[in-house]
Amino acid sequence: MKDITITVIDREGERHELLAPTDMAMNIMEVCKAHELPVEGTCGGMALCASCQCYILSDHTLDVKSDDEEAMLAEAFNVRVTSRLGCQIHITEALDGLEIELAPEED
């Protein structure tokens, strides 16, 4: 088992260094929830809501957005060029050092 480190900046600007296992088929949303960060994941990781939206701050190369993720982000609030749905970013060794910021909650 290899753990990687992911930095998450929460909605108050606080930095969290999270350990994420690469052998459990987890995604960013699940890692944030496991560390009790305020990520809702209302749809359970099906790319049907944007409650796990985050901004990619580091220069990591991520998988291309699926059509479902693109469609959800097209309807979401506070979207930036670097927006992704945390549930669609699967934990791999290539993401070691990834830095993200949680998007503001939609009111």
Given a cut of 70, whether residue 52 has pLDDT beyond it is yes
Q: Whole-model pTM?
A: 0.94
Total domain count, the chain: 1
* Domain assignment present for 91: yes
pLDDT digits (tens, 9 = 90+) for 81-98: 999 999 999 999 999 999
Report the pLDDT value the prediction gives residue 1, as an integer from 0 to 100.
66
**CA nearest 74: which of 101, 60, 53?**
53
Here the CATH number for the domain that contains residue 52 is: 3.10.20.30
* Domain assignment present for 27: yes
For 18-87, give the DSSP string: EEEESSS--BHHHHHHHTT-S---TTSSSSS--TTEEEE-S----PPPPHHHHHHHHH-SS--TTEEEGG
* Domain assignment present for 107: no
* Domain assignment present for 95: yes
Question: In whole numbers, what is the pLDDT of the chain averaged over residues?
Answer: 95
* Domain assignment present for 48: yes
Range of the domain at 92: 3-102
